[in-house]
Amino acid sequence: MRIPSRLACLMAAALVAVAPRGFGQALPDLGSAGDATLSPQMERRLGEAVMRDIRFREPTYVDDPEISEYLATLGSRLTQVAVGARQDFEFFAIRDPSINAFAMPGGFVGVHTGLITAAETESELASVLAHEISHVTQRHIARMLGQQQQMQMPMMVALAAAILLGRSRPDLASGAAVAAQAGAVQSQLAYSRDFEREADRLGLRALENAGFDPHAMASFFEKMQRASRIADDGTMPGYLRTHPVTFERIADAQNRAAALPYRQHPDSAEFQLVRAKLRADHGDARDAVGYFDAVVREGRYASEAAARYGLASALLRARRARDADAEVARLRKTSAEGPMIETLAARVKQALGDQERAVALLGDARKHYPHSRALLYAHVGVLHEGGRDKDALTALTEPMRLYPKDAALHQLQAKCYAALGKRLLQHQAQAEVYVLQGSLPAAIEQLQLARSAGDGDFYQLSVVDARLKDLRSQHAAEVRDAKR
Ligand SMILES: [Zn+2]
């Protein structure tokens, strides 16, 4: 299933409306559909519930720590200066070639990979994120729903659920009837002109305050509008459906930017590397090699390092590790550096069978970039894949104390315990993965497996028992809430 981009905003908006009985057990109870306002806390809980569905059930969700880390860094530069951005934000990518981005309640912002590759400068990408952030800080989705009370909320939610869970919930997915209703609902839920104007105004201010080129907003709008005129088959970039771009908006953005001093914003190295990575991961590996080969040979690039990074990544995908290794050496000659380059270099060494060098590269890199979560995952992953599970567990100790809610760390821990044949600990770690994914029954099952694993001491068993008791009562409360 893919989330049709034109419905992304609607879906988010519809889900904020009401949580009907029977849909998504994890959705919190919102009270009656007539409640005019939604508290920010409830918005956040709803956003988290929808986000869990996307993260664990949506196949187009980009589960790539380097891409996530990049978007988080770019996003936080904007949220730090955005008006009213006191809440947490989370930015994530959806693998979809269309140019789109959407905000969900609670500060979750989805970015299509097509938007990342269509943006020619980092300021252009930032301008769309800044606009989405402003929809969130101004609580436009909640306010929009305040005006939609007479609408049939349960129908909207069922529709949104069908779109979101079409694959895993076949009972909710149906064809033409849903599509027809979707069109009707969508037309009423596209952001209004007033909301667009407000998001542009505040977004531009955040863009400027974060040090990006404020002229990028108008230029990117124009680009999208041009793209929509060229498409004569009626397909419009998804973004334009939920955020209608008018000449007035473009002119406003131009006028506001014109009043600001010109400022050139050099793109970050990661912006170019992330774009190269998305391109190198796309489609047939040999085609990707051919593409980057031509780019490098003809010098058609904004960043030589990114072009060579793309070529090396594509070569690695095409199982040409030796060629990839040579390309990484040329990449290093450009004097580019960063966690993404070290991770790629290590992956290449690993593919060549040189585990030791791979581990050493990542170990050194973590000293240089101690805050990179992507690098940490790669380091622990390479240790585990090289059979050094005890070292991997040691490397996990401190990060797990720092980030106890990071499911990926618990998952790595479970894998290492499994490899070491420590069954109680393996199931115990797996249980925490499921807790963080919002699936208590699966977590309880894992703890039962941990209890009967037969390789735990008295102390370990009592810890498992206490956690089992805790999760069972949490689960009972959830079931009770759902029945209310
Ligand atoms: Zn908008």
HEC profile of the chain? CCCCHHHHHHHHHHHHHCCCCCCCCCCCCCCCCCCCCCCHHHHHHHHHHHHHHHHHHCCCECCCHHHHHHHHHHHHHHHCCCCCCCCCCEEEEECCCCCCEEEECCCEEEEEHHHHHHCCCHHHHHHHHHHHHHHHHCCHHHHHHHCCCCCCHHHHHHHHHHHHHCCCCCCCCCCHHHHHHHHHHHHHHCCCHHHHHHHHHHHHHHHHHCCCCCCHHHHHHHHHHHHHHHCCCCCCCHHHHHCCCCHHHHHHHHHHHHCCCCCCCCCCHHHHHHHHHHHHCCCCHHHHHHHHHHHHHHCCCCCHHHHHHHHHHHHHHCCCHHHHHHHHHHHHHCCCCCHHHHHHHHHHHHHCCCHHHHHHHHHHHHHHCCCCHHHHHHHHHHHHHCCCHHHHHHHHHHHHHHCCCCHHHHHHHHHHHHHCCCHHHHHHHHHHHHHHCCCHHHHHHHHHHHHCCCCCCHHHHHHHHHHHHHHHHHHHHHHHHHHC
CA of 199 to the centre of ligand 1 (A): 6
Of 246-255, 337-346, 388-397, 424-433, give the lowest mean pLDDT range: 246-255
CA of 134 to the centre of ligand 1 (A): 8
CA of 320 to the centre of ligand 1 (A): 44
Q: What local confidence, expressed as pLDDT, does residue 24 receive?
A: 39
Write the pLDDT tens digit of every residue in 234-288: 445 556 666 766 777 888 888 888 888 777 888 999 999 999 999 999 999 999 9
CA of 7 to the centre of ligand 1 (A): 13
- Which has more pLDDT, 211 or 263? 211
CA of 38 to the centre of ligand 1 (A): 20
CA of 91 to the centre of ligand 1 (A): 16
Q: What local confidence, expressed as pLDDT, does residue 230 receive?
A: 57
CA of 221 to the centre of ligand 1 (A): 11
Of 106-120, 134-148, 244-258, 360-374, give the lowest mean pLDDT range: 134-148
Q: What local confidence, expressed as pLDDT, does residue 356 receive?
A: 95
pLDDT confidence bin for 161, thresholds 50/70/90? very low
Q: What local confidence, expressed as pLDDT, does residue 313 receive?
A: 98
Q: What local confidence, expressed as pLDDT, does residue 21 receive?
A: 31
Q: What local confidence, expressed as pLDDT, does residue 484 receive?
A: 67
Q: What local confidence, expressed as pLDDT, does residue 223 receive?
A: 82
CA of 413 to the centre of ligand 1 (A): 41
Q: What's the predicted TM-score (pTM) here?
A: 0.83
Q: What local confidence, expressed as pLDDT, does residue 350 receive?
A: 97
Among 19-28, 305-314, 433-442, name the most confident range.
305-314
Write the pLDDT tens digit of every residue in 421-480: 999 999 999 999 999 988 899 999 999 999 999 999 999 999 999 999 999 999 999 888
CA of 161 to the centre of ligand 1 (A): 22
Write the pLDDT tens digit of every residue in 175-200: 444 555 555 555 555 677 888 889 99
CA of 42 to the centre of ligand 1 (A): 22
Q: What local confidence, expressed as pLDDT, does residue 185 receive?
A: 53
Of 87-91, 100-104, 170-174, 262-266, give the lowest mean pLDDT range: 170-174
Among 89-93, 96-100, 153-157, 357-361, name the most confident range.
357-361
* Percentage of residues in the chain having pLDDT higher than 90: 55
CA of 2 to the centre of ligand 1 (A): 21
Average pLDDT on 1-22 reads 37
Among 138-142, 147-151, 216-220, 376-380, name the most confident range.
376-380
Write the pLDDT tens digit of every residue in 77-86: 999 988 777 7
Average pLDDT on 12-25 reads 36
